[in-house]
Amino acid sequence: MADSPDLEPPNRALASGSDAKPIDSTRMAVLFSVMLVTASGNTAMQSILPTIGTQLQIPDFWVSAAFSWSALLWVYTAPKWARQSDHRGRKALMRLGMIGFTTSFALAGLALFLGLLGWYSALWTFILFASFRSLYGGLGSAAPPAVQAYVAARTPRADRTKALSLISSSFGLGTIVGPAIAPLLMIPVLGLSSPMFAFAAIGILVMIALALKLPNDNPGYQARGVVTSEPYSSAPSAGSLKEEDDSSEEESSVPPRLRWSDDRVKPWLITGILGGNAHALILGVVGFLVLDRLGLRGDPDLGIRMTGLVLMSGAAATLLSQWGLIPLLQMGPRSSVLWGMVLGGFGCLIIGLSHDLYGIIIGFAVASLGFGLFRPGFTAGASLAVKRSEQNGVAGIVASVNGMAFIASPAFGVLLYTYAGPLPFWLATGICVFLFGWGFKTLKLDDQVMTKN
């Protein structure tokens, strides 16, 4: 990697201790695309899997559980890939993640296509689907932490919340936009498996953009350089602290391993786990809820369109929160989390009480607005809690937290929904209320988070 002809040249501004040069718009667009495609493809199936399960006569619980193995692999592998980016470069890990994503979707789409044609049983269809999905969990998890670490290592501390909010918005937005656009990707000859092939093709385009527009990076140099300047730039003793940090960084070529039990990040990780599971609960159930409450189990085409309409309302709300409210109101990590839980809980309550399309749309939009505030708040809070040399470690942990929410909560939510109706939405509301109270007492004030640890 170090000998690559397109290696990104060392940033002399970083080495001299001055402000880091912002990432240009072209590179940010590529990074945004990696995160957006990775997330949107992962959740695109939410709008069509209920219909696929109905056609194959698979119980709702097993349809939702098909994602669990992939999510478990994501939690296990994301921190390992994040630490690899310290040695192999962030671009190399992004490329590996996109290869895993594209291969997984192409093979999983083929498994669904042949299964729907009757080449093998419904059981084997979902076994093959879950197996090929594991490529996404095992390899695709390399991309998001590499993107986050790339951005964090090249963004001044004062601007990092905005930058990470933009990147987090691509990932959070993708979880909503994917299911919303899946019905638009249907091709008659490929049937319900069409979105899988479409996202595989999009993944190839993103890999081409990644190869052409993003230079290979030298992660070790960049991480050490930024640590010596930005973390302590506003501290009264910046000079002495910088000199001490320079020395310690030069002596060690490998950043210290960041642990989940680290007191600096533990409150943010608890926040991410609880809020992420509340979000996963409603995302796992909403497709089935639309089919049942609108009586669309027997009308697959209309069911897919109505589910897409509901999820598009969530996409608009997520855009409003992460591209509008956070930068406009200058919301820090704590305020983003607390306001997110207020709106998220209220939206879940509305969904649980609604029995028509209008109510479901309003409830899901309000909930998405809240979770759209919550996710970048939790991500930025964890990032700002540690040194710049530890950004790869915290990025991997954050990615694991995001994946952890989807191991059991969607399937558990569907199980509760099957036997207890709106109970998943009451549970999500309760989690939001609890997290608001706990976060109000526990999370550091924004002005404390934005200054030296």
- Encode pLDDT of 284-327 as tens digits: 888 889 989 998 888 877 887 888 788 888 878 887 887 788 77
Tell me the percentage of the chain whose pLDDT exceeds 70.
81
Amino acid 402 reads: N
The stretch 22-35 carries a mean pLDDT of 82
- Encode pLDDT of 171-193 as tens digits: 767 766 787 788 788 888 888 88
Helices (H) and strands (E) in the chain, counts: 20, 0
Query: Per the structure block, which two tokens stand in for 345?
Result: 């809980």
Query: Which among 265, 273, 275, 25 is positioned nearest to 163, based on CA atoms?
Result: 25
Q: What's the pLDDT at 446?
A: 61
Q: What's the pLDDT at 101?
A: 92
- Encode pLDDT of 49-91 as tens digits: 788 877 878 878 877 777 777 778 877 887 788 777 667 778 8
**Beta-carbon count within 10 A of 119 CB:** 11
Q: What's the pLDDT at 151?
A: 80
Query: Which among 249, 246, 230 is positioned nearest to 86, based on CA atoms?
Result: 249
Q: What's the pLDDT at 106?
A: 94
Query: Which among 440, 421, 413, 388 is positioned nearest to 154, based on CA atoms?
Result: 388
Does residue 350 surpass a pLDDT of 70? yes
Q: What's the pLDDT at 312?
A: 80
Band the pLDDT of 147: cuts 50, 70, 90: confident
Q: In the chain, what is the straight-line distance between the N-terminal and C-terminal CA atoms, in Å?
A: 33
Band the pLDDT of 107: cuts 50, 70, 90: very high
Residue 140 to residue 126: CA distance in whole angstroms: 20
Q: What's the pLDDT at 245?
A: 37
Q: What's the pLDDT at 163?
A: 73
Band the pLDDT of 19: cuts 50, 70, 90: very low
Tell me the percentage of the chain whose pLDDT exceeds 90.
20
